[in-house]
Structure 1
């Protein structure tokens, strides 16, 4: 039981660390219309964004790894799926990290090019920015959401946490996926009020879940299968 509480506390802490890193990984300069002109002067902002997104890789995988031994007691198949999607998401995180320094190279080339030689760089920059948006806000979010859907299904079925909190997570995941498909279909842009509003319920649920895991943990006795875990830990 003590091992289970330690795992949930660490998992809750990793959620908070990941949320902070996620907020700091946003690079506002890349949302500006003339961002190629601004990139050289905002090198630190881009590098900080890359480092913070890199930090999200161990926090995301660590969250799944710490909870996997508990979740697999309830459903081994769903818990493996949850872990698998987290690993897939980590790959997209890594791609996002790699893409950011390319903007520095492109910005430097843009600054050195003459006025008549920048059109191809602008086209390349737009392709690079679109690729980053599709990686971070479509591929990454959808893979995370599919894994989280399995995660909340386990929690809803097991009652490890209150069902209303699990249901909130399932609804939030559905909204987050819909926002990603809107970006994919060009119905919405990233980092816009409508995009942020659609993702807000899941973000708020994540904060509440983190606090719950840190302060209360999983109620494994609420599940018949979960009682097996208590028997092993005591």
Structure 2
């Protein structure tokens, strides 16, 4: 297996790992309730969901770092922008996990009714972090990475086209949620997020199974002797 095939395999595996967070929506359900901090019962699901999201955050960084050596041969500035946005997305995931784990800590410490407002504020912080981070940044990632892969033809062009279609839908959904047109967790928001999710999943599967297609940019740039 050559180094380029290994790069595609590693990047594809990282992309597929990002989908381990799918169960977290249900696992976070109880902690998002307004009076959760006053209740009792096991908190294992919330901690487990937090761990899954942290794994996703690290996998996000992994996708960008793995792809950068190949993408920079097409356009180093755009490739670097993709790495930066992907790292920022990972940071927002960590920032969104921390408030929910804080609620669990307060609950386990026996926080009383005085902590109810604090708990609601922490949930609101999580929701806004999720909306601004995981609602907007994946759209920008789709445009940056999609443009590089579309021009280079390293993967079939239908894959980045999914990202191009999904990016404006995701932004529109985030804007609609921001202005109260529909809830953050709703059928419409799920439908709007589907094309970008399909783009990332399809890309991960393709890179694992097929690897990169032959392309001029996969060859290392030639070194020219400078005239003296």
**Distance apart, 1:112 and its partner CA:** 5.2
Q: 2:44 corresponds to which residue?
A: 44
- 1:93 maps to 93
Are 1:184 and 2:178 matched, yes or no?
yes
Query: Within the alignment, does 1:128 sit opposite 2:127 as a pair?
Result: no
Structure 2, unmatched stretches of 5+, are: 224-228
More helix by share: 1
Is residue 2 of structure 2 the alignment partner of residue 2 of structure 1? yes
Is 1:172–1:201's contact at 8 Å kept on the other side of the alignment?
A: yes
TM-score by length of 2: 0.87
What CA deviation, in whole Å up to 9, does each residue of 1:208-231 have, x standing for no partner? 21111111111142xx3x153498
Matched residue, 1:167: 161
Task: Quote the offset at 1:6 in angstroms.
Answer: 0.8
Residue 53 of structure 1 contacts residue 96 of structure 1 at CA under 8 Å; is this kept in 2?
A: no
Alignment of 1:185-204 (within 5 A): 185-204=179-198
Deviation string 1:165-190 (CA, Å, 9 cap, x unpaired) is 11111111222222222222222222
Q: 1:112 to 1:211 in 2, by over 3 A?
A: closer
The 3 A distance-change label for structure 1 pair 133 and 78 is: same
Indicate yes or no: 2:218 matched with 1:218. no
Gaps of 5+ in 1: none
Which deviates more from structure 2 when the two are superposed, residues 174-183 or residues 194-203?
Answer: 174-183
Task: For residue 154 of structure 2, give the secondary structure of its aligned residue in structure 1.
Answer: coil
Partner of 2:226: none
CA distance in 1, matches of 2:19, 2:203: 12
Q: Normalising to structure 1: TM-score of the pair?
A: 0.85
Q: What is the alpha-carbon root mean square deviation over aligned residues? A: 2.3
Residue of structure 2 in register with 1:228 after alignment: 219
How far apart are the structure 2 equivalents of 1:172 and 1:35? Answer: 35
CA distance 1:122–1:187, change in 2 (3 Å): farther
